[in-house]
A and B are shown apart, each in its own frame.
Chain A
Amino acid sequence: MVKASTTENPSQSVSPMQTFFIHLICGVGLAVGLWVAHNFYSISLISNPSRTLRLIWVTMCPLVILFYSCFRKNPEKCSYLKAVIRGVLALPIGALVNALGAIALGAPVGIQYFPKTVNWSLLMSLFTFVPAASVFGSSWEDWRRIFAHTKPNASVDYMICLPAHGAVIGAWFGAWPMPLDWERPWQEWPICVSYGAMAGYLITMVLSFVLVLPRGRQQHPKAD
């Protein structure tokens, strides 16, 4: 019975509890990053965006890679270590893609913006690319299914697809107040974009948990 289910769904099945746990860990990681920045270094996203962003992604990076790698596809063929390495490799690649996208959309380019952009895109990479890379590896079909078609099937698909889309769309909307002449410090690149991305990420994590919940109930009697 267990074997049959793995052939159907090659990735490890994820229960709603596990989804909740993973999302909670990621959310807590984000919060811890902000909290550490605020209390230990007494900086915030507004006062020192690049250092704060770095703190956040450094805190979140191990959590995301290690926990998502548990749900890797084809766990028989692919060792845990390999999944972790895939995640680590995906971090700079995803950051590059995110940075290029941001610049195409009008993010400022220049020496003084460089560290900010780098840290921001690393964080965005953690939100979007790294989980997918840890779970799917280089399976083009799965990537296309998640990011182009937006057709998540399994629970783990929801866990990857929704937060990633949420972060990107949140960041896109987060850029809207930037040109306004309110002259607030948070209108600078990449502060409000980061806020938007984080907000989108958190909201869609809740959403993905809600969507996974009924699936778990369906699968549970089947697994029995």
Chain B
Amino acid sequence: MMEMGDWWRRGKWRIMVMLTMLHIVGILIFTRGFLLTRTELPYYSNCSDVSESPCFTGQSNPYQNQSNSRCWTRPAVDRLVIIVLDALRFDFVAPSTFFKEPKPWMDKLQVLQKLASTKRSARIFKAIADPPTTSLQRLKGLTTGGLPTFIDVGNSFGAPAILEDNLIHQVDNGCIEHLLPSLYEEDWDVLIAHFLGVDHAGHILGVDSVPMIEKLEQYNEILDKVIEVLDNQSGPGGLHENTFLLVMGDHGQTINGDHGGGSAEEVETSVFAMSFKKPPPTMPSEFDTSSCEMDLDQKKTCISSFQQLDFAATVSALLGVPFPFGRCRPAVICCGQASDAGYLLFSIGRVSPELYTLGAGTWNLENNIEGNCPNQKEEEWMQNYCNVLCINSWQVKRYIDIYSASSVIGFSSEDLLHISDMYAQAEENWSCSSESLLLFKDESCYSSLPLKRKIDAYFKFLLNVAELARSKWTEFDLKMMGIGFVIILISLPIYFLAMMTKSVNGFSSLLFGDSEIFVKLVFALFMVVIRACSFLSNSYILEEGKVASFLLATTAMFKLRNSIKREKMLVEVAVHWASESDVLSSMLMLQGIGRNFIPRIIYAVGLGQLLLLAFSPLFHKDRDLESKMHLLIKTLAMLSSCSSTIIVLSGKQGPLVALVTITGGYCIMRLGNIDRGSTDKVAGILTFDPLSVTQWSLLATCLFFVTGHWCAFDGLRYGAAFIGYDEFVLVRQAILLMIDTFGFSHIIPVFGLPFLVARQKLLGHTDQDGRLLLLQLSQMYLMYGLITAASVIATILCVIIQRRHLMVWGLFAPKFVFDVVGLILTDILICLAWFYYVGRREDGTQLTTLDHRD
């Protein structure tokens, strides 16, 4: 018993630290398997690189003599106009005849449909994006030709906050203003206009709404004008003689206007491509995968589809810049989000044959080779295309090599070998350069057969790489996730053990002795389990605040019932629950903007107070720290120093929430007190009320949602980071944001927990009571940590189960991130609070009296 007590006394803080470590390690391992990160390579493609490729063997690069920016392939188009319509659903563009039933939002972009059906140089594509379908991700994916990963989503969180204030109709005004004049200017090669209106209309009102249709009609007009301008200038020698127009969406959206997930509605977007040069001949049919339907005017419209992954490579090939874009002169006009299209990285995409064909320049129209081959043009095109693919494949191979050499989580060696094999296979046949092809020019025509075989081999290689990359970058590492989960799971029994350490025989007394506490413990566990199970459903996660409030009210009623049982009429019926859930939801207003220096003074005072409190034990070692009053005072001091900063950060609702916190805390305390009254000094292991701690933790959860946060990155209140400061310093603003986000829900509850103990028995002043108090406090902290850890484990389990869920990136992953950060923060805070409240007193020799008492 003595050794046990010894270990217990000495080891307690070590247990806390150990648990923290355990959680951190487990979470890191789990995160590694779940949130996939892709190392970005700090390399850029250069013109000179291409000479290393095998594609120009035996001859110098024929294009190297041309201007610097055009080098890898023969430029097929001179200028490129890209109009990105955010959240452009596939059925916005495609004729309604492609779908089962026409919907009001279909056939609104008739300009595109008409051109696609009448001109051979225009065509509609269905582009399939890779989830997650958020704009920044997609823009990045579009321009780099890579696959998105979750971490990037975090980068886009600033954008919605900026744009929210704009009205749907104002969003695009900047774009419209600048787009048309820019078309007449000469100083750009690529022009990108990004329209956000459709996305906004979708988010705010849904797809099936009048503003959405109006927006589409407006776009129809704009596109009509743009095409007219381009068409007028497309004559020989004109500004847009060889211009290529792309109207595209970066992702789709659901009927409700949401996007981010992986449903067909969200990933399917469309691309309209049109070349203003002479219409090209039809492409070799074997590469044509399009499906054709009659449109409303009974004209044939063909739609082909391609992976959005291939977009970057194709566009680079068309422009003749290193894959993907090297440095051309981009003119990015508008809107909201900065596109850094100028400097981008490697791609694993494949040059899409259909899109590539449309570029008129890919056809060697100037060369009039005399001959009687009927499909000589086609042959030439294929040769050209083969060449492009050769460079494309070489570049992909190089990317894979560099990536696996530099990245920690690379590809497995088997996969790499497989890829190398395939690349070698594709290479070995023969080069597609004209020289080697001349060997086959026995007759007057080229033989197209080897060319086709070669193109097929390249296709095979590129598709395999894309598949592999998709599996690596968008699939989960279950082994890692499992290990992480088990590590975190281990912490649960440790909590139990730590709480039970005091006496082993206490366990039996828990089960058979005091039925009162047992019932409460079961009820508390029941609540925690319900909450844990609720994470399985996305709807419950969305309404998590309400669920927590529901459970909190239930526990409050349960305790109220218990207290009536004890013949103690309660005056302070839990009125605050009502005020909490309803008044505050209407209070989410703009926060007050104070002068900068006032908040700063408050920060400074708060920090000063904290430091003072932290060091005060050093100066008052001799003081008798045993009394409860002292604990109470300490708690109060701690809270007052923390809360001022938090309240300031919370803005206008801060004081109100603080009031609610106090009321809530007081009610829980009173309920616990009344309950305790009769069961004075419960012998056994649980010296505290498990239900009170559960309530405390539920209250903390409620506070998180009441203060206007929710588990999403756009739920962060960025405004709070700038209270007191105007300029942005990453670390400082991050700390402020952190305090704002977790202040009410983590910092205050953890430091306020001693209230539950301190108020309980103000009568006892004996030494023994002091010890009991400390024991209670430590057990309470352990219980609190246990509840937090249990709910996080439930979240993790649900994330594992739901990893293929539609909402995994939209809902489960942010919830996971928030919970995990919350858990680590709680652990650290519990450690700190432990040191602060208990730390100093447990290494004294005085505590042996307690063990003797045992």
Residue-wise interface mask of B (555-569) relative to A, using a CB-CB cutoff of 8 A (1 in contact, 0 not):
011000110110100
For residue B539, CB closer than 8 A to chain A, the reply is yes
Tell me which of A100, A101, A105, A172 has the highest count of chain B C-beta atoms within 10 A of its own C-beta: A105
The CA of A103 and the CA of B557, in the complex, are separated in Å by 13
Which of B546, B556, B557, B574 is in CB contact (< 8 Å) with A106? B546
Are A180 and B574 in contact, CB atoms less than 8 angstroms apart?
no
The CA of A101 and the CA of B578, in the complex, are separated in Å by 9
Tell me which residues across on chain A come within 8 A of B578, comparing CB atoms: 100, 103-104
The CA of A149 and the CA of B564, in the complex, are separated in Å by 9
The residue of chain A having its C-beta at the shortest distance from the C-beta of B541 within the complex is A179
Are B546 and A180 in contact, CB atoms less than 8 angstroms apart?
no
For residue A186, CB closer than 8 A to chain B, the reply is no
| A101-B557, A181-B538 given; A106·B550 CB < 8 A | yes
For residue A175, CB closer than 8 A to chain B, the reply is yes
For residue B543, CB closer than 8 A to chain A, the reply is yes
Are A175 and B539 in contact, CB atoms less than 8 angstroms apart?
no
Within 68-86 of B, Cβ neighbours of A (below 8 Å) are at none
Are B540 and A179 in contact, CB atoms less than 8 angstroms apart?
yes
Residue-wise interface mask of A (122-161) relative to B, using a CB-CB cutoff of 8 A (1 in contact, 0 not):
0000000000000000000000100111000000000000
| A101-B557, A104-B574 given; A179·B582 CB < 8 A | no
For residue B577, CB closer than 8 A to chain A, the reply is yes
For residue B656, CB closer than 8 A to chain A, the reply is no
Are B553 and A144 in contact, CB atoms less than 8 angstroms apart?
no
The CA of A109 and the CA of B537, in the complex, are separated in Å by 25
The CA of A180 and the CA of B567, in the complex, are separated in Å by 39
Are B537 and A180 in contact, CB atoms less than 8 angstroms apart?
yes
Determine how close the nearest CB of chain A comes to the CB of B206; give it in whole angstroms. 13
The residue of chain B having its C-beta at the shortest distance from the C-beta of A97 within the complex is B573
For residue B445, CB closer than 8 A to chain A, the reply is no
The residue of chain A having its C-beta at the shortest distance from the C-beta of B543 within the complex is A179
Tell me which of A101, A104, A175, A179 has the highest count of chain B C-beta atoms within 10 A of its own C-beta: A104
The residue of chain A having its C-beta at the shortest distance from the C-beta of B530 within the complex is A176
The residue of chain A having its C-beta at the shortest distance from the C-beta of B549 within the complex is A106
The CA of A100 and the CA of B574, in the complex, are separated in Å by 10
The CA of A148 and the CA of B556, in the complex, are separated in Å by 14
Determine how close the nearest CB of chain B comes to the CB of A112; give it in whole angstroms. 14
Within 89-125 of A, Cβ neighbours of B (below 8 Å) are at 100-101, 103-106, 109
The CA of A104 and the CA of B702, in the complex, are separated in Å by 13
| A179-B540, A180-B539 given; A105·B553 CB < 8 A | yes
For residue B554, CB closer than 8 A to chain A, the reply is yes
The CA of A148 and the CA of B562, in the complex, are separated in Å by 7
For residue B21, CB closer than 8 A to chain A, the reply is no
Within 690-736 of B, Cβ neighbours of A (below 8 Å) are at none
Are B577 and A104 in contact, CB atoms less than 8 angstroms apart?
yes
Tell me which residues across on chain A come within 8 A of B175, comparing CB atoms: none
| A100-B578, A179-B542 given; A105·B550 CB < 8 A | yes
Determine how close the nearest CB of chain A comes to the CB of B561; give it in whole angstroms. 5
Which of B547, B550, B565, B581 is in CB contact (< 8 Å) with A148? B565
The residue of chain A having its C-beta at the shortest distance from the C-beta of B580 within the complex is A104
Are A148 and B553 in contact, CB atoms less than 8 angstroms apart?
no
The CA of A172 and the CA of B537, in the complex, are separated in Å by 19
Tell me which of A144, A172, A179, A181 has the highest count of chain B C-beta atoms within 10 A of its own C-beta: A179
Which of A100, A109, A148, A172 is in CB contact (< 8 Å) with B554? A172
Q: B residues within 8 Å of A by Cβ?
A: 537-540, 542-543, 546-547, 549-550, 553-554, 556-557, 561-562, 564-565, 567, 574, 577-578, 581-582
Q: List 19 A-B contacts (CB under 8 A).
A: A100-B578, A101-B553, A103-B578, A104-B557, A104-B577, A105-B577, A106-B546, A106-B550, A106-B553, A144-B564, A144-B567, A147-B561, A148-B561, A148-B562, A148-B564, A148-B565, A179-B540, A180-B537, A180-B539
Q: A residues within 8 Å of B by Cβ?
A: 100-101, 103-106, 109, 144, 147-149, 172, 175, 179-181
Further pairs besides A106-B550, A106-B581: 8, Cβ < 8 Å: A104-B553, A104-B574, A105-B577, A106-B546, A144-B564, A148-B561, A175-B550, A180-B539
